[in-house]
Structure 1
Amino acid sequence: MQTSRFLITGGSQGIGAAIVGRARKAGHQVVFTGRNDQLIGSVAQQTGAHGVRADVSAADDNARTLEACQTHMGGVDVLINNAGYAYRAEIGSLDLDAMKRMFETNVFGLVDLTNRVVPSMKAQSQGDIVNLASTSGMKGAATATPYAASKWALRGITQCWQAELRPHGIRVTCVCPSEVQTGFGGRTGRNNPNKLYADDIAGTIMAALDMPRRVLWPELAVFASNPWKED
């Protein structure tokens, strides 16, 4: 893969931070976003990437993020839509306002940011967009109505963008990780060597981007080979 300019949302921790690290080690320029100044500073110091405190659900923040990309890199070649979180509840006790707030980040904010990036990718007749969905968007589960709905939506959005953007040389890939050992949802301490790690997902994404430009992986589900094995 030629040296590229990456914009990675939610890059201050978890999968996002792992992608930042992988991209920087490969020699790419990187701007990443996050909402925690301390975490942003730590990742920036460790990787040399440029961190921006921004919330993808805020239109003004998205505009400022794109300004930072233009200032520090001159544009965006690869957009990794990673920022997102989970709200879960059983039907009958759903808080619709909480579900709508989650959609502002997981769906509408992602669409707003991509809407701002795509015109320049079209102008250069090349680009990559990677949307981080989830295997929760492939199979329903108890309490998953809000979160799964947002990830099912993202899979459908990805397919629409593929139809629209392939003629412009822009590849759009949807990655659906299974359970990954990060602090996602406030869950920590899951030190099970058989489950997926954030770097596994980052490596998968970089492998997809490294494919010749004639190759598009439209959707990738990533599972641990044997997460139930006890060591």
Structure 2
Amino acid sequence: MNTLIFTVLAYLIGSISFAVVMSRLFGLSDPRTYGSKNPGATNVLRSGSKKAAIATLVGDAAKGWLAVWLAIRLGPQYGIGDAGVALVAIAVFLGHLWPVFFRFVGGKGVATALGVLLGLNVWLGLATLVTWVVVAYAFRYSSLAALIAAIFAPFYYGLLFGADEILFAVIAMSALLLWRHSANIGNLIAGKESRLGSKAAGAKKK
């Protein structure tokens, strides 16, 4: 029962879409109406507001970190072990992908996945973040950076901790992230993918 409570709480935390919340606070158009129509930090950046994009990035990462941190810090006293932590990690990520508060229309999960990894282990999260930054800086494609970082995340976890229940959660998140980027993969192959920092039509202040 305690594991179920933590898992449901994690899903609800993940369901807070900071892209939508921050866009409203900054007086911007709904990120689900322009650009990639993805409620995430990269699409919010296409509005031209770097502050809103940074706030979205921090918020989406923080919710992933918080859910996992609560499970690791408070879970043991309620009988929650690695399997429970793995469920919480997946639940907060699923909350971002399909948020109950926003008609189950969510983002692709890059920032939230990063927060989850940082919550599991700082070095794991930093290694994945560095991978994203290097690829993004070299090629200027956020989606490509996310895809490569997602592929390497399970590898990094395996090197640090070996095979356990949480590794399977990391693999599941990576697989879902790759699937959510299927359209981006097509655009990358066709040479139609938008580069970081490009302004999207329809992205404007209200």
Normalised to the residue count of structure 2, the TM-score between the two structures is 0.33
Of Structure 1 and Structure 2, the greater strand share is in: 1
Structure of higher RCO (CA pairs closer than 8 Å, 6+ residues apart) = 2
TM-score (structure 1 length as normaliser): 0.31
